[in-house]
């Protein structure tokens, strides 16, 4: 049995407790189930199986995995009420849960007094951070490395802020020398430091970026949508550890519970070091803020309606798996990182693939050896298809060819298609053997 059904019993019991909480109301029967409900659900189950098996360790492709059972059940439980965390009127209990859960997230970066809230995901969270940055540095440029998430340039366009892409070094990290030269020319309002890039999991050199911020007066926004939770992991290399340890010195941080925080999609988080930026959100809402003079979360977020269920799920997850170094949650992250190191070692021992540099988090990129850039790209695509047919699901990425020492420097600005594996499930560590075996077979098949 691959998909857990046992925990549904726990949900049924929790539902009884939830109902007891409203027992003073006159009884009202739930709407009768439509007789076609079962049929529709059966059809849906069949349709949903036309997906890659994200729950399985042999799905080792993109940043995708199902949420933890505690999050799935808590979200489902809250759905019986469907609270809206815009205002206390719509989600009193879940607003309190959100404030607690967000305070715990902020605590990972050493922040006690800060402003933050959940939102629909990393893009929305980065939009809020760059909107605040633009309000504080109107008209000044936003800069991020060429490996930063593509939405930073789009968000800057939406906000009508000039956006500049800065080169990264041979390990996919923002190049501090290029940043220094750009900052010296003036007009730079904000620098996005990505702690865990989407493609390679590279960690930008935050200590150097912070030093330049002090010298040139720009704002630092940390996009830790993917990598932020790794601040809890004990097995990072010195560079990644040093950058994550300094995240709390940035002006704002984005971290996505729906990536490494075990949550269903629809859960990002933006945090601001200075709670005073809350003034920028000030607005009148003649319809919503009646039940209390206390802070309504809609007063400090750009979105209006937001799912209280997402806060319930996150809160419950953090209760079961606290965000503490050395705890079970941190151990899960460490296992993913160990899996990435094990895969890199196995690839280095073989002769078929080359990694560009050691993984900084739990993402490994690799390119078939031998041949021209075009031949190696075509081979990567063939291995990707053959592996999928054998049940191993990887991803492809288009990366600067100069990341591979044997292609640089002749490759110039050209890119190469490589294989990419995000080993974000703790179980991946136990499956590196079968993954490498399937990969070798796919490579042998692709070559023949």
Ligand X SMILES: Cc1ncc(COP(=O)(O)O)c(C=O)c1O
Q: Residue 402 in contact with residue 345, Cβ under 8 Å?
A: no
For ligand X, which residue has the nearest CB?
Answer: 122
* Strand arrangement of the beta sheet that strand 252-255 belongs to: 115-119, 268-272, 252-255, 219-223, 188-194, 141-145, 163-166
SS (H, E, C) 5-41: CCHHHHHHHHHHHHHHCCCCCCCCCCCCCCCCHHHHH
Nearer Cβ to ligand X (94/151): 151
122 versus 400: smaller Cβ distance to ligand X: 122
Shortest distance, position 168 Cβ to ligand X, whole Å? 13
List residues near ligand X by CB under 6 A: 63, 121-123, 126, 149, 151, 194, 196, 198, 223, 225-226, 256, 268
- The answer to whether the beta carbons of residues 417 and 365 sit under 8 Å apart is no
CB closer to ligand X, 62 vs 77: 62
Minimum distance from CB of 395 to ligand X (Å)? Answer: 12
Provide the CA 87 distance to its chain's centre, in angstroms. 26
Tokens of 369: 């050896």
Q: Which is nearer to ligand X, 172 or 196 (CB)?
A: 196
By beta-carbon proximity to ligand X, the closer residue of 87 and 168 is 168
User: Given the complex with ligand X, which of 80 and 265 has the nearer CB atom?
Assistant: 265
Q: At its nearest, how many Å lie between ligand X and the CB of residue 21?
A: 33
DSSP 317-362: HHHHS-S-TTSHHHHHHHHHHHHHHHHHHHHHHSSSEE-SS--SSS
Report the C-alpha gap between 290 and 229 in whole angstroms: 36
Which residues on neighbouring strands pair with residue 397, listed in sequence order? 418
User: b/e string for 195-217 if b means 16 or more Cβ within 10 A?
Assistant: bbbbbbbbbbbbebbbebbeebe
Compare residues 225 and 231 and give the one whose CB is closer to ligand X.
225
Task: Label the pairing between strands 353-354 and 268-272.
Answer: unpaired
What DSSP assignment string belongs to 104-143? HHHHHTT-SS-EEEEESSHHHHHHHHHHHHHHHSTT-EEE
Q: How far is the CB of 95 from ligand X (least distance, A)?
A: 22
Strands 141-145 and 163-166: parallel
197 vs 318 by CB, closer to ligand X = 197
Q: How far is the CB of 146 from ligand X (least distance, A)?
A: 13
- For residue 166, the minimal CB distance to ligand X (Å) is 16
Checking phi first, is residue 110 left (phi over 0); if not, alpha (psi -120 to 50) or beta? left
Give 236 or 432: the residue with its C-beta nearer to ligand X: 236
**Three-class SS of 405-437:** CCCCCCCCCCEEEEEEEECCCHHHHHHHHHHHH
- Kindly state the smallest distance separating residue 161's Cβ from ligand X, in Å: 17
What's the CA gap between 187 and 165, in Å, rounded?
A: 14
- How far apart CA 358 and CA 363 sit, in angstroms, is 10
Nearest distance from residue 54's CB to ligand X, in Å?
Answer: 15
Q: How far is the CB of 149 from ligand X (least distance, A)?
A: 4
User: Closest separation between CB of residue 125 and ligand X, Å?
Assistant: 8
Query: Would you say 269 or 436 has its CB closer to ligand X?
Result: 269
- To ligand X, the closest distance from the beta carbon of 136 in angstroms equals 21
Residue 59 DSSP class: B
Q: Which is nearer to ligand X, 198 or 318 (CB)?
A: 198
The CA radius of gyration of the chain, in Å to the nearest whole number, is: 23
Strands 268-272 and 115-119: antiparallel
Sequence-distant (≥ 6) Cβ neighbours of residue 246 within 8 angstroms: 206, 207, 210
Residue 433: both structure tokens together: 């053997």
């Amino acid at each position: 049995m691959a998909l857990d059904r046992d925990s549904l019993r726990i949900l049924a019991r929790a539902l009884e407790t939830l109902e007891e909480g409203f027992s003073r109301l006159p009884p009202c029967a739930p709407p009768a189930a439509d007789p076609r409900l079962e049929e529709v659900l059966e059809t849906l189950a069949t349709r949903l199986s036309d997906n890659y098996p994200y729950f399985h360790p042999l799905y080792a492709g993109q940043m995708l995995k199902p949420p933890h059972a505690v999050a799935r059940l808590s979200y489902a439980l809250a759905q019986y009420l469907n609270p809206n965390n815009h205002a206390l009127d719509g989600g009193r209990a879940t607003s309190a849960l959100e404030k607690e859960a967000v305070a715990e997230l902020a605590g990972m970066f050493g922040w006690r007094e800060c402003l933050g809230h959940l939102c629909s995901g990393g893009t929305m969270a980065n939009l809020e951070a760059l909107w605040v940055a633009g309000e504080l540095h109107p008209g000044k440029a936003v800069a991020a490395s060429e490996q930063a998430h593509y939405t930073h340039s789009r968000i800057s366009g939406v906000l009508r802020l000039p956006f500049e892409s800065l080169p990264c070094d041979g390990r996919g990290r923002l190049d501090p020398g290029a940043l220094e030269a750009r900052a010296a020319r003036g007009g730079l309002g904000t620098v996005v430091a990505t702690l865990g890039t989407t493609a390679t999991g590279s960690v930008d050199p935050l200590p150097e970026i912070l030093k330049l911020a002090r010298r040139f007066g720009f704002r630092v926004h940390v996009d830790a949508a993917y990598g932020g939770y790794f601040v809890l992991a004990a097995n990072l290399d010195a560079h990644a550890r040093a950058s994550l340890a300094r995240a709390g010195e940035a002006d704002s941080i984005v971290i996505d519970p729906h990536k490494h925080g075990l949550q269903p999609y629809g859960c990002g988080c933006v945090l601001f070091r200075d709670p005073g930026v809350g003034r920028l959100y000030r607005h009148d809402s003649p319809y919503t803020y009646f039940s209390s003079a206390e802070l309504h979360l809609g007063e400090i977020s750009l979105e209006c309606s937001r799912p209280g269920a997402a806060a319930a799920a996150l809160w419950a997850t953090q209760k079961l798996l606290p965000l503490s170094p050395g705890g079970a949650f941190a151990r899960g992250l460490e296992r993913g990182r160990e899996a990435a190191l094990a895969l890199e070692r196995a690839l280095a021992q073989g002769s078929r693939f080359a990694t560009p540099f050691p993984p900084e988090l739990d993402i490994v990129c690799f390119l078939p050896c031998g041949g021209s850039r075009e031949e190696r790209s075509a081979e990567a695509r063939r291995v990707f298809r053959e592996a999928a047919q054998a049940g191993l699901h990887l991803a492809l990425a288009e990366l600067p060819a100069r990341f591979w020492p044997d292609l640089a420097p002749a490759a110039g600005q050209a890119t190469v298609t490589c294989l990419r594996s995000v080993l974000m499930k703790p179980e991946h560590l136990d499956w590196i053997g079968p993954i490498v075996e399937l990969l070798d077979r796919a490579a042998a098949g692709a070559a023949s």
